[in-house]
Amino acid sequence: MRTCLLMLPLALTACSLGKAATPAPVDPPVRAMRIVSLDYCADQYVLKLVDRQRILALSPDATRDFSYMREAARGMPKVAPRAEDVLVLKPDLIVRSYGGGADAGAFFARAGVPVLQLGYAEDLAGVRRVLVETAEQLGERARGERIAKGMDARVARLSERASSPFVPSVSRDPAEPLRPRPSTSLGTNGGGMNNGTVSTIASQPTLLYATPGGVTSGPGSLIHELIELAGYRNFQTEPGWHPLPLERLAYEKPDRVAMAWFGRRDYNPDRWSAARHPLMRTASAHPVIGLKGAWTACGGWFVLDAAEAMARARGAQL
């Protein structure tokens, strides 16, 4: 009994320390002037939304090929996402998506530095939401709303060009692109089955999206939504991310293939993946649609560049 009583204060102390280990987030300043970005996804938002003089440092990947805002990042200081390297700069706001690891937010909060954690976007509506929310927290609400309205206009143009069903004629050139189906409003990634669109969907060309690593994406993903917005049916019908369907490609071909390239390392002749399989080289009679990896490496307003590139390859007038 005496032992239990002696242990009780220690147990209570341990509980108290456990609670202290998860500090409350530190409120960011109204207008941060010493912003540090910890990863290249955060870099894109910081570079787009705030003036250059407010940025203290960016991530080491800010100028890499897969960074959409790499030109704007030229000549700007960079910092590794290590606590000691960041804290010595004395930032008044840290912006991150994944940089610094899972415990980075809590660590910097204990150090008294506010952290702006970017939200996760699984569809275009989510991208728009993250954009507006991030701009608000960076003190740039008007700028964020302006970019969001630009997104709305781009989606509307893509949807408008996809509004007329295509009826093939006997005299049509086989190389002539099919017209797309109607698209839904911003934020629907489930295919957008509106009244009267079933026959239109059946007439759409199919498209297979591929990465250099040999994977593709099906329904329920942002990539799938972009494919449909561009006026195609996704060749990959299984939800989520999967290896390229090489067995299916042996007996069935998509109308088009879109390949994302993330930098010079993708052209390494000694690096093999399913994307280099002979079946992929003959997967489509049309040239491969090249997509810059920076367009899809992060969920941002710039993913619409990929949709527009796919639509142009199909023949849409954007």
Q: Which domains does the chain have, with CATH numbers?
A: 25-118 (3.40.50.1980), 152-167+178-314 (3.40.50.1980)
Please identify every stretch of the chain with a pLDDT value under 70, giving residue numbers as ranges. 1-30, 162-202, 262-285, 316-318
At 180, which amino acid appears? P
Identify the three-state secondary structure at position 265: helix
Question: Cα(283)–Cα(207) distance, rounded to whole angstroms?
Answer: 10
Residue 250 pLDDT: 78
Structural tokens at position 191: 């295919």
- Do 150 and 132 meet the contact criterion of CB atoms below 8 Å apart? no
pTM, rounded to two decimals: 0.77
Strand partners, 243: 215
Q: Which residue has the tokens 């003089």?
A: 53
Question: Cα(211)–Cα(128) distance, rounded to whole angstroms?
Answer: 24
Question: Cα(312)–Cα(289) distance, rounded to whole angstroms?
Answer: 10
Which alpha helices (DSSP H) does 21-173 contain, by range?
40-49, 70-73, 83-87, 104-110, 124-137, 141-161
pLDDT digits (tens, 9 = 90+) for 201-210: 557 889 999 9
End-to-end CA gap in the chain:
80
State the DSSP H helix or E strand holding residue 223, giving kind and residue range, or none if neither. Answer: helix 222-229
Residue 30 pLDDT: 66
